[in-house]
Amino acid sequence: MELNYTIIYSKRKNIAITVERDRSIVVRAPAGATPEKIRQAVESRKEWIYIKTKHPQKFNELPHPPGKELVNGESMLYLGRNYLIELVDGVDEIRFAHKFLIPKKLSKRKNVIKQWYIEKAKEIILPRVPRHAIKLGVEYNQAKITDCKYRWGSCTPKNNLNFNWRLIKAPMFIIDYMIIHELAHLLENNHTPQFWNIVKAQITDMEKAKDWLLKNGAILEWDI
């Protein structure tokens, strides 16, 4: 089986291989790594890569993903629950009061709603990172909210943590699970049994979180 993969060079020391949720293969390699050395690394993990690409949590994006018209009676996800949309007069910004109050005359409505989600992600997700870091006894450089569609989060070689803004649509226990997941990579880089033991020690409903993402992850991918 011939594997197609994307190579990303950086100042890292070792070659790392990941299979994204869209089943694409990404190889992160040191700046001086030769194509042959990278090929050998991929070949050595061929069986693991094959298993990962067949994993049920990976998915193929729908050619025409369902969208929303953003009209009265529709709903949007926020912190794990669907809330009704109500188009209203007399307001100039999106407001949330157990339902989404959206200005009728709002232009580029989807872009504005996406930005609202991003701001809420910064407001709710980022302050939880240092709290969990203290519990784990780890230090990180900085945490950011990003728009990386096919990853819920990442921990970079420089100890920076990135979290997908779409997580703000998930329940709080999913947000905490992903924060702990990325912080645990500061202690164990790969998804070894030791890594999962670290995560489980911090979040007892780890399997519940993984199962929720397995069943609902694709829904979170929609921008709105």
Q: DSSP string spanning 83-146?
A: EEEEEESS-SS-EESSSEEEETT-SSHHHHHHHHHHHHHHHHTTTHHHHHHHHHT---S-EEEE
Compute how many other C-beta atoms are within 10 angstroms of the C-beta atom of residue 147. 11
**Backbone φ and ψ of 143, nearest 5°:** -120, 140
pLDDT tens sequence for the chain (224 residues): 567 888 888 878 888 888 876 677 888 888 888 888 988 888 888 888 877 777 655 555 544 344 456 677 788 899 999 999 888 887 778 889 888 888 888 777 788 889 999 999 999 999 999 999 999 999 999 999 998 767 899 998 889 999 999 999 999 999 999 999 999 999 998 888 999 999 999 998 899 999 898 888 878 877 67
Q: What are the strands of the beta sheet with 161-164, ordered from one edge?
A: 143-146, 161-164, 153-155
Q: Which of 176, 170, 179, 114 is nearest to 144 (CA)?
A: 179
Q: Which of 5, 16, 11 is nearest to 31 (CA)?
A: 11
Is the pTM value of this prediction over 0.85?
A: no
Alpha carbon of 220 to those of 139, 174, 217, 223: distances in Å? 29, 12, 5, 8
Contact indicator for 118, 165 with CB cutoff of 8 Å:
yes
Q: Are 36 and 54 in contact (CB under 8 A)?
A: no
The answer to whether 8 and 29 are in contact (CB under 8 A) is yes
Sheet holding 16-19, edge to edge: 5-10, 25-30, 16-19
For residue 117, what pLDDT is reported?
95
Can you tell me the distance from the alpha carbon of 193 to that of 195, in angstroms, rounded to the nearest whole number?
A: 5
Residue 62: per-residue pLDDT: 43
Cα 152 from chain centroid? 1
pLDDT at 215 (0 to 100): 83
